[in-house]
């Protein structure tokens, strides 16, 4: 029966943050193993380029000729809006002898400095910078994005890429043991502040579908 006087349904966010009493220390050894090799994530939007350090990367396809990746970027990061608006990024995986890039790309904001001004790079298919010197790269085009409250998870097609050396990539657990103590201290201070921001933002998930800039309704 059609009731013309029925109230319109109210759109709600069905997500409720899961409260729990679990101690993180119990799962820390597992969670720490989930981080990917360290990548310098590069992006470009309207003539502005940036690079940042990321370890939240995963393969997202089992089809060899349709490769995809997942990349998590925090909204506070300068790179976030460049990737969100351009719909593209590149993953430049760094080597064990490139520890300096952790400081140059991870402890400085791209809003304050041009991180790539003294770093050799080129532009390939997506227009994202590709480092001349790294373990290997993937040039990626975003096909969808999921809001995570404090971060965005980008699903992207890999358009091209290749390993550039026979050396091994660098993992965060190894880098923490090899970088100078003052870098570790600076990183910990940075993360402590970001954790507090994330606590406030994580429950606020936007369920609006992602569309490339210029195609929003």
Which tens digits make up the pLDDT trace of 19-74? Answer: 667 788 889 889 888 889 999 999 999 999 999 999 999 999 999 999 999 999 99
Kindly tell me the burial class for residue 135, based on how many C-beta atoms sit within 10 Å of its own C-beta (0-12, 13-18, 19 or more): buried
Distance, CA of 170 to CA of 168 (rounded, Å): 7
In the chain, alpha helices (H): 28-32, 78-86, 100-106, 172-178, 181-201
Q: Sketch the domain layout of the chain as residue ranges.
A: 31-201
Which tens digits make up the pLDDT trace of 95-152? Answer: 999 999 999 999 988 988 999 999 999 999 999 999 999 999 999 999 999 999 999 9
Region 31-201: CATH code: 2.30.110.10
What global pTM score does this model have?
A: 0.88
């Amino acid at each position: 029966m059609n009731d013309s006087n029925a109230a319109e349904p109210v759109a709600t966010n069905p997500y409720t943050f899961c409260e729990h009493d679990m101690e993180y220390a119990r799962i820390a050894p597992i969670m720490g193993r989930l981080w990917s090799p360290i990548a310098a994530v590069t992006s470009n939007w309207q003539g502005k380029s940036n690079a940042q350090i990321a370890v939240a990367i995963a393969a997202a396809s089992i089809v060899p000729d349709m490769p995809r990746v997942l990349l998590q970027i925090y909204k506070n990061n300068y790179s976030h809006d460049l990737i969100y608006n351009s719909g593209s990024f590149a993953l430049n995986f760094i080597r064990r002898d490139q520890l300096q890039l952790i400081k140059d790309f991870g402890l400085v904001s791209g809003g304050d400095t041009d991180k790539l001004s003294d770093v050799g790079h080129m532009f390939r298919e997506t227009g994202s910078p590709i480092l001349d010197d790294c373990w290997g790269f993937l040039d990626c085009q975003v096909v969808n994005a999921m809001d995570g409250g404090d971060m965005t998870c980008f699903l992207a097609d890999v358009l091209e890429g290749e390993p550039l050396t026979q050396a091994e990539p660098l993992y965060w657990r190894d880098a923490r043991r090899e970088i100078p103590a003052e870098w570790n201290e600076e990183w910990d201070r940075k993360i402590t502040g970001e954790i507090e921001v994330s606590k406030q933002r994580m429950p606020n998930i936007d369920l609006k579908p992602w569309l490339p800039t210029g195609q929003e309704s």
